[in-house]
Chain A
């Protein structure tokens, strides 16, 4: 137990230290190897950490031996470890897949590309593990700045515009978070999350506290791409290099959601958060708006990656819907979908990346009849799509099932109807791709397309298999999600 406490900070430190080294490495093989090895090591450490906190324990590591709350503390319970496992796991699977694709999309200076990737991941992991609110802001900016650079690596010139617009919106979001942190510090004189959680209830409720909560929620909603603050997301995911789209879709918005939950449930107590501001109603409206607008726009798209990006907006809606129920079951459903959606979107973006690589285009009109040329890739896409729609026995079904049960338990039957309608919309946009790829004839003048090499298909199928595995054996996902929800609520009363 104590040894894992000492090792746990290395989940962040390994990629953070490997990043600058990676920037100095020449060629293509070495930077990729260093990145993959660091993420695989971080994955093993995350798995060990999750195993150590699975019984409800909390690990605490004080940096530089400065005792918290004065020093910076890494504080890990089931909620952090669950999210860290998702990030490192998806990255470890996607990196072997991404190597030839990065060779094609970013032919030069791969050292600095992989360095940015490592720093972005280190930032995301830092946000996840830290127990200090100012540290959250710093890591948020570290990961965001690296992400802007990574998105700008896309071959299309529109990637630059997408990166710039994301930079403006992302910085506003992070600065909002900083304003919220400033108010918290002014009110309590501490930045440590656990310390804030004990001091805030005894602090007299004031307008300043309300404003702090508001700024933090809105700032993180921007990073989370919660409708209607999602405008940066579709272009960023569409024009970024395929590896980055897949990684961001699986991890970045999830981390923002985790921090938001940490603030709402742990730093502020839920009894305050949901009564000081009409958070439950506001989150529910935005979640439903995202579910419908995202699914609707996904149905309208002619670009496969943009379609998946809008689908992400819709899926973020499901997670936030679970949060807005303000029950333990709803929070469990949110964590469950956070994990499962990471798996399914990684699989979908990974197979879309193979199409982009072999076919040179992700426009649906260029994909006619491609299913017969690349059967393994498109079958993986279709099966991951089944998980996205939520058909048993997939991970997507499990998370929808828990979300619907949480809504029923809360007596909100109308939400179940809305969830089913948006699931049908997902069926429409996934089926459209399958129809175009398999049933339409390949145009005679279309360039010949070859199936990707099996070494690339293995990681994609691994992700697809994970979607089915976690649809049948839910010990890790449901167990982890309910432990995470309980760790956040921590026995406090929900309003």
Chain B
């Protein structure tokens, strides 16, 4: 039971990062390999608010969300859109965007290292335990999980039940057809990319309340987010959430029952199964 709940808590926070990436890949069609660095940026912001300003770290969301939104919008507009225009084939765009987002990822890590240094960071916030089903969990984890659930829920509602959400889904299904019904595909893509980045940074704020992090930890989360997005089916928010929970559970089970050093290996094992048997994702239809 304890393993189950811990796994779900972890999965909830993974879900929020993966949902951010899923928006970016599904709508803007850029596999953003720097998404982990957005998360680390959010974590650093929360850390700074808590230690330097001695405020509740969640206050950092006030500037992390708009900040990450603007930065990601600028990245899409000035770094990635030129590639979309320049690319002659989809393969070319794929390679270019992989390389550019890797470049961005390293550049950001480099900047973090210069600004914050290479040590590990953590702070103690709401670390008193609360009792659930006979076991104890950190309050901070419970709160982070609840916020993640709220954000995922809001996003899901917005995508499925509002007009602006619909235009996003339209672009993700077919950009050409979307542009025929007067949707500004460039604008929607940029918006989705920016929103995805903001969500990932929010995930960073949540994570920082209970996890130790350092400047170069982003890549680990990028990898997990990527695995989740592929497992859930590209651009499928619901699939990403389920996949995130599956990954959180698997990691927790492996860490508790076999060896904590094997978390990534277990994620990989899941990934391999998906690639071999359901490359279109858990809920995806086989494309033709």
A and B physically associate: no
Chain B residues at the A interface, C-beta cutoff of 8 Å? none
